[in-house]
Each structure stands twice: as structure tokens, then as C-alpha cells.
Chain A
Amino acid sequence: MITLYLFIFLPFIFACIVPFLFKYLNRQVHTGWFVMIVPLAILIYLLQFIPDVASGMTYEYTLSWIPSLGIEFTAYVDGLALLFGLLITGVGTLVILYSIFYMSKREALHNFYIYLLMFMGAMLGVVFSDHLLVFYGFWELTSVSSFLLISYWYERKSSRQGALKSMLITVFGGFGMLAGFIMLIMMGDTYSIRELIANMETIQSHVLFIPAMLCVLLGAFTKSAQFPFGIWLPEAMEAPTPVSSYLHSATMVKAGIYLVARMTPIFGGSPVWFWLVSGVGVITLLYGSLTALRQTDLKPLLAYSTISQLGLIMSLLGIGSLAVYFGPGESGTVFTVAAYAALFHLFNHSTFKGSLFMVVGIIDHETGRRDIRYLGGLMQVMPITFTIALIGGLSMAGLPPFNGFLSKEMFFAAVLDVSKAGIFGLDSIGALFPIIAWVASIFTFVYCMIFVFKTFGGPYHPERLNRKVHEAPLGMLLAPILLGLLVVLIFFFPNVLGKYVLTPALSSVLPMMTPSSYDLKISAWHGLNYELLMTIGVILLGSLLYVVKKKWLPAARKFPQSLSLNHLFNEGLQGAERLSASLTSRYMTGSLRHYLIYVFAFFVLLLMGSLLLFHGIQFDFSNDAMINVFDAGLVICMIISALTVLLASNRIVAIVALGVMGYVISMFFVIFRAPDLALTQMVVETVTTVLFLLCFYHLPKLKKTVERISFKWTNLIISIAVGLTVTVMALSAKGHKLFEPITSFFENSYELAGAKNIVNAILVDFRGFDTMLEISVLTIAGLGVYVLIRQRSKRGKEHEAE
């Protein structure tokens, strides 16, 4: 099973080789030919799992990564993972084949294929991971590689914007999902998804159940472009068309679907899950199909149609989760079919949407236009492309004989069933499900018709096109032809796919259902019933709407731009930027004084606050020393000189007052029995005063700056508050000696250090490191002063030279 790992990491390994292939071989052979080997090899490797998985086997292999934290790569192969694995590698092979003809050899192909391989590996990692954190890692890697691919033509502004938007939204959802995963890990006490499913009894009764569900759904909805997070997908259409076809129709946008399907055994059966998944899905379905109608550019049209179809799949998964609620039994089986339809449509959508994007790429490549207002009549010049577009378009519209018809019938059946389910308050609102689904299907039909017949039908206007149009080369057509063939084949032989791929996938989505109960339902796609009538209604009404589209389509396109989600997102983003900028410029004024006020105010509030809060203000004067006249005189001298410094208008007076204060302090040291201090203080004060006088000889006179009264008052209040805080704190602290001082140890200085002066013994012996570093400080200050003075003289010379 180690080979499974090899195959998951193969794209990453191969991505390292791509630059060399590009550099040395690209002139002779297009790099894409080499790259195509990778998904093809993995596809062939994965195909051999099908028989075993179809018979109910699963494979598991664990590779240790961070064993001490319990983090390991656990690859787990079951039906669901295999379905996605086949899609990723199968569509991947075709997309690379297509890109060989679509991307010119002159492009930066090495970048393109490295990003694409990185994405492919990440996507395979997502679907095969059983470990939640590894799952998340690969998930973010898909976001990053998608970001790189969207901004492939990075010199275009719209590419960069689209990439940024998709990054912001998907990573936002990714973080939400991570939070949800962590809650899941806490609840289930395991990292493994399978073990979580086994533990779901404890998880469902846990208080974090709903928050974890919401967070996980946030990740799924942003990734799968559900309402209202879908706005990144149309802008991601700035990527090269193979990328749009691969990432934004077949694989990455289905990662969210995969997540929802994976988590259904854990969260399914809860009404919140049902309402969110199916409700958001249905809203997305309607919103996407409505908005797709308004597009004139083919790629955004397909992007909105992708959003709409993803909504369809999502709502089917929501309905399918009801099977978890009912459990095995008749009504459970009914909803199992819905989940089955979700997987079926998931597969179908990958086939027809992939081919449709490739068709758009061909049109773009051959005509230089993507806007339907310029296109028309291409049927005559591009018959093969037209055939593929017709197959894809009709399949998307849900017409026979294409696979979209089957999955749409099953969708109608599911919404009809859910309206009759009679739980979770469905009795009243449940009737809305079939109506919304039906209306959205009509819109879907109309935009499919617009897509096919506005592009290929009608009059041909060669003068509107940039190039001389002819049919695309065979190589470019090969991939869409294969996908188109698949679309038709699945219609005629749905049960081959159903039996070998979809049924095992379904049993991983709904493990509690016994396979035998729904085996019969798969082939039951014939018969006259409500679903068929609904489809006929869709075709009739849709055709009618298409015929009279000139009457209403212009009105629909006039939808005010200011109300669109995109506009809201952009405004919100700009608003957030403006808000934070104005907020920052409001308090980051650049004025030193303001910052000092913040610091001091914080100091006062914190200390005073905690002193008051914890009853810290307790004065105790019992142990105080006596005061005599001499002490009192010194204190008064000190206060007077401090006030003189404050009020002096002449700088000499201020400096001299400061000097007086220094000498008073040294007198204090004398009466407090600190001879060394008194000596040092005296000397330092003298030198400082001399320095002051020397340096400030050159400074202008202390100005009587006219300051606003409020300015002075603020300063006064703050400074008095600081002084008060210090005093109160000192007085409260003084009386509370928690333990005896260690002074007695230093009184042994003669025995221990051979010194009679205890202070000096402390400085050079007991605590000599302090002294050493203090000397360093002095040295550095001296060097600093020297450098500053030298710099001045150099500058001065420069000035003179000028």
C-alpha cells in the first residue's frame, strides 16, 4: 500500500522535475506531454481499485509524520474517495491533453504545470486523507495553488484581483473549517474521520456539535461557491481556460461537496444540517441560474451555471442526509436515492461542464471573442465544436439522451419526496422545494439554450471577430470529444457506473444504510411520473422563454450593479480598509506626547485600578523612622528645586535648580548612611551639570511656548495622577514586608570577600556582573556620544563644501 502514497505524492515529485523538462526539452516537445503521464498513471493505478471497492473493501495506509502529536498521513480508500480520485485524475488527464494544444509553447509553461500538478496532488490529498489536520493542510494547498493558477497571467490586473478575491474567501472558509475540525477533534478525541463516525453518538450529544457543524459548513460553502460566498468563482474565470475547466468546474469547487458528503454520517440527521445544506443549496441553485442568464461573457455564464449546479448537488446531499435521520427502512431508502442522485450528478456535472469550458476555450482560441453579443453562426465553421457544445448544453439543461437528464429526474424525485417528508417543519415550507427546483430548472434550460444557440446558431458575422475562424485542431478537440462521449455513454449505461463507482461511494456517505435496500432503485429511471411531467414543463416553458427572450432579457440584465453581492463584497473590503486606516491614523498621531499620554494613562489605570479592586491600599506607619528638622529642611529644599525646574523660564535657572536637587539627594544619602552613594551622586551631579551647561550653551533659549489651556490641563492631570499612583503604591508596599531581607548574608563580606565596605563588596564581588555590564553601558554611551559628535563635524564639512 505504500504505492498509494507514492501516487498521491507523485504530482509533487514530478512538479520538481517540470522546470528542467521545460528548460531543456520544451523546444522539441511541449512540456504538457510529460506532465500528462502523471494523472494517467494515477488514473490507471486507481482503476484497479474499482473491483475491490465495489465489493465493499476499503484500503488504509498510515505514514507517520509527527507521532508525538498523533499526526500522521492516513490514506483511506473507499468508494467516495475513489469516485473523486477518478474524477481528479481522469479530468486531469484530459485537461492536460487539452492544455497542450491550448497553451502556446511560448507561455511560461513550467509555472503552469507546476501549479497544476501541485493542485492535483493537493486535491488527491484532500480526498484520500483520513486525518483531519492533514486534510486541512491539503485543503489549503488547493486554495494556494488555485490562487497561483488564477493569477497565471499576473501582468493583468483582473487576474490579480480575481486571485485575491478567491484567496480571501476560500482561506476565510478554510480557517472556519479548521476551527470546526478542532472542535470535532475535541469532541471525538480522535483525528481520524472514520473513528469520528464510529463515535458519533457522543459527538451528537456534545455542546460543541452545532458550532462545529457551522464552522465545517462555512469551509464547504466557501470552497464550493455556495450562496453568498460564490462571488469568487466568476472572477476566477480570468485563469486560463484549462484551469477553469479543471479547478472551477470539475474538482476544486467539488471539494466542499466532498466535505459535506464525508461529514454526512456525523452531522446528517440533524435538522440544522438538513436546513443549511439543502436550503443554501436550493438558494444557490436559483441564484446561480438567474445570474447566469444575465451574463454576456461565456465564461462567467458557465461560472454561474457551475454555482447553480453545485447548489443542486448540495441540496441533494442535504436531502440525502435525511436518510441518516430515518435510518434503514422504507423512508430512509427514499432519501438514500437523493444522496445517490447527488453523487450521480456530481459525476455528470464534471463531464459536461468540463467539456463546455473546453468548448469556450476553443471558441476563444479560434475567434478571439467570448462575448455572445459578437458571436453567432459558428455552427457552419466549427461543426465538431458545435456538436460537443450541444451535447454538453443539452445535458446541462437536463434533456435526454444525455446524462444530465437522468440526474435531473432524480433531483426532481428527491425534491418531491422531501416535500412530503413531514419532519423538521417541512410540512409548510417543504412545498417550496419542488417549486424552486422547477423554476431554477427553467432558467437553467434557458441559459443553456442561450449558450448553445446564441454562440453557434443565428447569422454568422465574420467581420465582428478578430481572426479568420476555422475548426480547432484535432488535439484540442480530443479531450472535449471524450467527455462528450462519456456524457452520452452514461445515459445509455448508467448502471455500469452506478454499480462500480457510485454505489460504493454512496455506502461511504451513508454507511448506516444496508446496500441491498437501494440496489433496485438505481435502474428505475423509466416510467411516466411527476418528474417526467416536470421535465416536459421545463422544456415547454423554457423554449417559450427562449423564443421571446428579446422581450425580457434586456430588462433582466439591467439589474442594479450596486445590489450585487460582488459590489457588497468590494465595498465591504474597501470600507474595512478605510475604517482601519482612519482608526490607525486617529490614534497613531505621530506625536510623542500622545503616545506618552497613552503609556502613563495605562500605567495609572492599571495600577490604581488593581489597587482599588484588590483592596491593596493599606497604610502602616508604625515602623517609620523619626523625622527631624534637618530632614524636613532637605525635603522642602528638594520640592522647591523641583518646582523651580518646572517653572523656570530661563534654562540656566532650570539647570542650576536640577543641580541643587542632585546635591540635596546626595545629602539625603549622607543622612541615610550611604557614603558611597553620596560620593558618587555628588560627582555625577557635578559632571552632569557641567555637561548640561556645555551642550545647551548652543541651544536656543527656553521658549515661552504659548500652549492651549487644555494641553496644560491634560498634562497636569496625567502627571498628578502618576505622582499620586506612585505615592500610594509606595506607601502601601512599604508596610508589608513578606519576609526578612537577605542583608545579614552580606554582613559576612569580610569573611567571604575580604572587604570591610559591604557596598563595594556587593558591587565587585557578590554581584560583579552588574558592575561589568554597567561599565559596558557607560562605554557604549561614550562611544555613542563620540560618534554623534564626529558625525556632526563631517556633516558640517559637507555643508561648508556646499
Chain B
Amino acid sequence: MELILCVAVGILFSVGVYLILSKSLLKIILGTSLLTHGVHLLVMTMAGLKRGASPILGDNSGSYVDPLPQALILTSIVISFGITAFFFVLAYRTNQTTGTEVTDDREGGEAANE
């Protein structure tokens, strides 16, 4: 199971990075979302999978799965949600101001040379 998930996480990272490297702002945001998912799954996988019951006391179970990564991921989900929401609006505003959602290499290059 862990092997499969690690490979899946790698694929999520690949796709995310590929999208981030594109010129379209929308694709870049999609890419960051994919990266976020990949990281969450990675944290989950690293803690070990399916060993014990859900971390709620009273199930009379002998052992529970590790609750700490779950708390970490929960925090991360909320933060990435906040960031993603901000990114949306930023991209939307950029589109409104510049009329495009494509980052232009040449223009930036010239600005850097000045």
C-alpha cells in the first residue's frame, strides 16, 4: 500500500510541477493545489497506514492510528485553503488589470535588464 501511495504522490508532484512551470496563471494555481494534495498524502503515508482504529477513544480498540499527522494535515488543509483562495483573487485581479492570464517571459526579462 505504501509503495503504491509513494508512487502516486510522485505522480502528483510531477503533474503539479509541470503545471507550475507553464505560463498560464490558472495552470499554476491548479499545480499548487495538486502539490498540496501530494504533500498531505505524503505526510499520511509517512506515519504508516491502517494500523489501528480511528483516533477516537471509546472504540475499545487496542491501538489507534497516529493522530499527530492528522492534526498536522488538518492545519495544513486550512492554511492551503486560505492561500489558494487568496491566489484565486490575485489571479483574477491580475487578469482584470493586465487583460491576460499568461505570464510573459519577454516582458519580465526586459524589466529585469533595466
Which A residues form the contact surface with B (CB < 8 A)?
585, 588-594, 596-597, 600, 621, 623-627, 631-632, 635, 638-639, 642-643, 645-646, 651, 654-655, 658, 661-662, 665, 668-669, 671-677, 680-681, 684, 687-688, 691-692, 695-696, 698-700, 702-703, 705, 707, 714-716, 718-720, 722-724, 726-727, 730-731, 733-734, 741-743, 746-747, 749-750, 756-759, 762-763, 767, 770-771, 774, 777-778, 780-782, 784-785, 788-789, 791-792, 795
Contact = CB atoms under 8 A, between A and B. Distances in A.
A654 B77 contact: no
Contacts of B56: 675, 756-758
Given A627-B1, A677-B74, A590 B20 contact: no
Contacts of A672: 44, 49-50, 65
A625 B1 contact: yes
B37 A750 contact: no
Interface of B: 1-24, 26-27, 30, 33-34, 37-38, 40-42, 44-58, 64-68, 70-71, 73-75, 77-79, 81-86, 88-93, 95-97, 100-103, 105, 107-113
A781 B13 contact: no
Contacts of B109: 589-591
Given A662-B37, A743-B64, A757-B55, A699 B82 contact: no
A674 B88 contact: no
| B contact face: mostly helix, strand, loop, or mixed | helix
Given A677-B74, A681-B77, A730 B108 contact: no
Contact of B92 (A590, A594, A696, A778): A696
9 contacts: A625-B48, A646-B15, A695-B91, A696-B26, A699-B95, A718-B17, A741-B66, A774-B79, A777-B83
Contacts of B105: 589-591, 593-594
Instruction: Please provide the 8 A-B residue pairs with the shortest distance between their CB atoms, ordered closest to farther.
Output: A723-B14, A590-B108, A727-B10, A590-B112, A781-B82, A719-B18, A719-B17, A673-B54
Contacts of A661: 34, 37
B1 A631 contact: yes
Given A585-B112, A673-B52, A727-B6, A742 B1 contact: no
A593 B50 CA distance: 39
Given A621-B3, A716-B18, A782-B82, A741 B47 contact: yes
A665 to B, nearest CB: 5
A297 to B, nearest CB: 40
Nearest to B44: A672
A593 B25 CA distance: 11
A718 B83 CA distance: 25
A705 B21 CA distance: 14
A623 B48 CA distance: 9
A743 B67 contact: yes
A770 B2 contact: no
A596 B19 CA distance: 11
Contact of A698 (B47, B68, B95, B108): B95
Nearest to B23: A705
Nearest to A715: B21
Given A677-B77, A695-B89, A730-B42, A624 B3 contact: yes
A661 B8 CA distance: 12
Contacts of A646: 15, 18-19
Given A642-B12, A726-B42, A780-B82, 13 more contacts: A590-B111, A592-B103, A621-B2, A627-B1, A661-B37, A672-B50, A675-B54, A692-B88, A702-B27, A703-B24, A715-B21, A719-B15, A730-B10
B6 A719 contact: no
A625 B15 contact: no
A581 to B, nearest CB: 9
Given A676-B74, A742-B68, A759-B71, A658 B108 contact: no
B103 A785 contact: no
Contacts of B42: 726, 730
A720 B89 contact: no
Contacts of B102: 703, 705
B101 to A, nearest CB: 6
Given A624-B3, A680-B74, A727-B10, A645 B50 contact: no
B93 A791 contact: yes
